[in-house]
Structure formats: C-alpha cells, structure tokens
Amino acid sequence: MDPGEGSSKTISSWREETIQLGNTVLLRLPTGDTRSVKVEKDSTVSLGRVGSFSSNELVGQPYGLTYEIVEKGLQVLPPHTLQEVEDTEATNELINDGEFVQPLTLEEIEALKKSGVHANEIIKKQIEMHANYSLKTEYSKEKYKKHLRYAKSFSTVEPTIHNVCEYWFNKDQSRIRDLRIDTLSQLLHLGNIRPGGRYIVVDDASGLVVAAILDRLGGDGRLLTICDVDSAPAYPILTHMNFKKDKVSAVMSSLNWATAEEDYISLAPSAEPPSGQFKSERQKQRLSKRKLVLDSLSDTRSELFSGEFDGLIVASEYEPFSIVEKLSAYLGGSASIVVQSPHAQILADLQSKMRSSSQYLGPMVTESWLRRYQVLPGRTHPFMNMTGSGGFLLHAIKVYDDPSASSVLAFRQPKSKKAKVPGDPLPVDEFPSASGDAHSSSLNESREAASNEPSTKHDTDAPMA
C-alpha cells in the first residue's frame, strides 16, 4: 500500500459530502424525471404520485441512494442493477395489446390505496389476476416487476456539474444556451481551467459556466464575470451546486459592461460625508457601507485592467467579436479564448473576424456529438432519441504579435501547397493575384496573417490543432 500520499480522506470542503439543511437537492423519480427540492428543516417534501416524506430524513445522507417512501419515512432500497435474465421460450407471439391490459383499473387502484392497502398487496393482487403473466418473456416480466417495485421510490442525485448540467439541459436547454455536458466539458478543458487559475467569464447561460468553473477551481483561483445587469448577476444554477457562499464570494467578483469600460466614471454619490464629518451614526453606517461597495468595485476594475488573466470563457447572447476584442486585452500571452454558441453561423463569423487579427492564434470551431447507449445483456443499442446539438465552440490562443518578425507580406504563400515551402518569404509582387483564383486566395492570405500556412487543410485527427 501507499502510506505516504493521500492517506487522509478529507477533500476540499468546497462542496458538501452529504446532504445538509438548506441544500437544493435533485431527486430522480421512477419516471426518469428529475425534481429539484430544497431541504428545509421540519418540512414535507411532496413528490406527487410517488408520495411525500419529511425533509429531515435526507439530512446527513450521502448522495446516490435510492429510497422507498414508507409512511413519510425513507427506507434505503437495493440499487438498480442489471438483471441477468435468461430468455425463455416465451415470446410475445400470443400477446396482443387489448382492453384487458391492466387487471385493475386506475380507479380501483386508487380506491385500494385510499383504503390503506399496502402497495405490495395491490401488486400481488394485480399479478394474480393476470392469467397470461406466464406468457411473458423473462425480460418483460423483469421489466414489469422492476417497474412496479420502484414506483414509490426515488434516488438522490449528487450535484456534480455533469448531473446539474444534464438536469438543466433536460429541463430547459434554451436557458443554458444549449450547452450540453459534453460541450461544457470540452469548454473547461480548452479553457485550461485548473485550481489557482484566473479567468474572465461572460455567462448568459444562467450561470452554468460559472458553476462549472467554480467547481473546478475548488476555492483556489479567481473568477471575474462580466454581466449585463447593474446589480450582482443572478446565476440560478449556482444554487444546485450547493457551494459555500462565503467561499464563492472570495473567488468570484463581477463587473457589468459599463463598469468594465476603462473610461467609466461612477455617478454614484460619494461615500464621504458632504460636510467632512459624519452627522450621525446612521449616516456613518450608511456611508461606510457605500464605501465598501465602491471600493470593491474599484478593486475589481483595477484587477481586470491590470490584466494577465489565464483565459476568457464566453457563453453570451451578445455579439461575440465585440466581447473578444474588448476582453482579450486583459489576457496574458498564450491564454485560451473559448466562445460557445448554439449557432454555427455566429462562430463562423467570429472565426473569420479573428483570423484577420494577428493576436489570435489558430481559431478553430468544433461541434460536439454525443450518443448514449442502453446497456442490457443481449440488448445493447443506442438510445432511440438523441439530443440534436450540444452547441458549438470556438477556441483560439491569445498571442503577442511581433510586426518585425511577422511582416505579413514576407510570409505569404500561395494557396497551392506545391508552389512554395510554407513559411518561405514570398514578395507580394510574386503573388499570382491575376489568376482566376485570385479572389479566394488573396482572401486566404489576409486571414492567415497569424499563421505560417493557410489553414484550408485541418488535421481532423487532432482537433486541438
């Protein structure tokens, strides 16, 4: 065994290990739907048809368990496992869908439930009444049993960024700008998000990007967000992450598009007493509170303007080139720029604009693709439905241009790869601008100012490249 490293099990207390009072918890219901519930002291959580239970029951529980609701209390249920079921001779040959699908009608079941009969009894009754149960294949019997078994149960879902993203994507994907989990994961990697890093983020995706980055930072690093409201931005998704509030405010600060301007002058009244002296204790308190706000604003602004950030991450409804132009000034050399959009056109335009500037290296647009499979013995196949698109990403690297080294004209090459070794100096006069292809190749040249080679060919094996 490895006695040395990592013998202690305490990991960062950034996110709670167990469910606490005040947490917002995701519950997965038997239907597959996920419900968001706030765990408040001594209250009742109602899950509709599944039942209701006392919220205190969840406190201190680890995530991921499945519970059956028994008289407002919770009992841990065995986890869903794949059932190894051998197929029998039974087929669905003699089974037709008909009126006698369910031996007990819904009304009868409700009546039984009201009369206090336990669910198990009802099910037993139902199956007894089912003459053709033996005609079913083992698999569909299993499906039937499991289906019934878990009808009054639910599972808690750990608020990992994966689960939270999936929950919001299924709930309302437009509110998170179609940012599917695979795209979000790529965004975090392309943005080189690491503990201790300093990032500028523009998040109009309900705070999903902010939540993901805060989660990865684990309380160490800096996150400066720029928003379009004049109060503190509402990032509703942060509630689902259950971060500790004081820890978040130590890592994250926000500016808006006005306060992020270098020539912005606050119209807010001064925090100094007009007479030079505080007239009352109340005034003193009020003004010192105001001073705190103004100081913090001024600190955040100077932090932005002093620059050298490690990355710029954008998922915004605003015109992306204006954002990139404005904020890339505050990035350090070799910093990552990642822009997400649900629309390829937006990023195509952005890429075209960025290629004409020599401070962005290798802008590249990618689309992510994700397919989930049902895995069951003998019945493994992709799910019938898949999400259409998880959005597009543009990634580029901020670089410092050196006009003397980079004399754009000196390193132009023709579009044809055979004509010259890429990178060779080629006087502009030699460029065959009169050829029939002049139009498109001169276009290429100006776009490729920052690169040694026209990027008409991409290495699809290495998407980063």
Q: Contacts with another protein in 154-173 (CB under 8 A)?
A: 158, 160-162, 165
Nearer to another protein, 104 or 297 (CB): 104
**Which of 448, 257, 452 has its CA nearest to residue 354?**
448
39 binds another protein (CB under 8 A): no
Of the CA atoms within 13 Å of residue 90, those in its CB half-sphere come to 15
Among 88, 285, 296, 334, binds another protein (CB under 8 A): 334
Q: Residue 222: beta bridge partners?
A: 198
Give the H or E element holding residue 153: strand 153-157
Among 41, 71, 81, 282, binds another protein (CB under 8 A): 81
- 457 Cβ neighbours under 8 A, 6+ residues apart: 417
Nearer to another protein, 227 or 235 (CB): 235
Nearer to another protein, 287 or 313 (CB): 313
Nearer to another protein, 136 or 255 (CB): 136
Q: Which stretch binds another protein (CB under 8 A): 59-67, 254-262, 268-276, 322-330?
A: 59-67
Touching another protein, residues 98-127 (CB under 8 A): 98-102, 106, 109, 113, 119-120, 122-124, 126-127
Among 73, 236, 269, 423, binds another protein (CB under 8 A): 423
Q: Distance from first CA to last CA of the chain, Å, rounded? A: 40
Touching another protein, residues 293-322 (CB under 8 A): 308
202 binds another protein (CB under 8 A): no
- Interface pattern 235-264 for another protein (x via CB under 8 A): ------------------------------
Nearer to another protein, 160 or 259 (CB): 160
Least spacing, CB of residue 292 vs another protein, in Å: 29
Least spacing, CB of residue 128 vs another protein, in Å: 7
Question: Rounded to 5 degrees, what are φ and ψ at 168?
Answer: -70, -35
- The type of residue at 156 is T
Name the residue with tokens 């990991």: 11
**Which of 146, 138, 200, 176 has its CA nearest to residue 338?**
200
Q: Residue 108: beta bridge partners?
A: none
Among 35, 237, 411, 445, binds another protein (CB under 8 A): 411
Least spacing, CB of residue 405 vs another protein, in Å: 3
Among 370, 416, 428, 430, binds another protein (CB under 8 A): 370
Nearer to another protein, 102 or 298 (CB): 102
Q: Which two tokens stand for residue 219?
A: 């309380």
- The type of residue at 47 is L
Q: Which stretch binds another protein (CB under 8 A): 167-175, 270-278, 287-295, 399-407?
A: 399-407
Q: Which two tokens stand for residue 442?
A: 């001169």
Name the residue with tokens 């308190």: 285
Touching another protein, residues 208-227 (CB under 8 A): 215-220
Question: Rounded to 5 degrees, what are φ and ψ at 384?
Answer: -65, -35
Of the CA atoms within 13 Å of residue 285, those in its CB half-sphere come to 3
Least spacing, CB of residue 121 vs another protein, in Å: 9
Dist CA 164 CA 143 (whole Å): 28
Q: Residue 35: beta bridge partners?
A: 27
Least spacing, CB of residue 130 vs another protein, in Å: 5
Among 42, 71, 86, 96, binds another protein (CB under 8 A): 96
Least spacing, CB of residue 117 vs another protein, in Å: 10
Least spacing, CB of residue 39 vs another protein, in Å: 17
* Residue 321 CB coordination number (10 Å): 17
Least spacing, CB of residue 353 vs another protein, in Å: 9
72 binds another protein (CB under 8 A): no
Among 48, 73, 196, 269, binds another protein (CB under 8 A): 196
Least spacing, CB of residue 289 vs another protein, in Å: 33
Dist CA 208 CA 212 (whole Å): 6
Q: Which two tokens stand for residue 126?
A: 């139902």
267 binds another protein (CB under 8 A): no
Cα maximum dimension of the chain: 95
* Residue 211 CB coordination number (10 Å): 27
Q: Are 405 and 390 in contact (CB under 8 A)?
A: no
Least spacing, CB of residue 53 vs another protein, in Å: 14
Dist CA 312 CA 395 (whole Å): 10
397 binds another protein (CB under 8 A): yes
419 binds another protein (CB under 8 A): no
Dist CA 17 CA 174 (whole Å): 30
Of the CA atoms within 13 Å of residue 153, those in its CB half-sphere come to 18
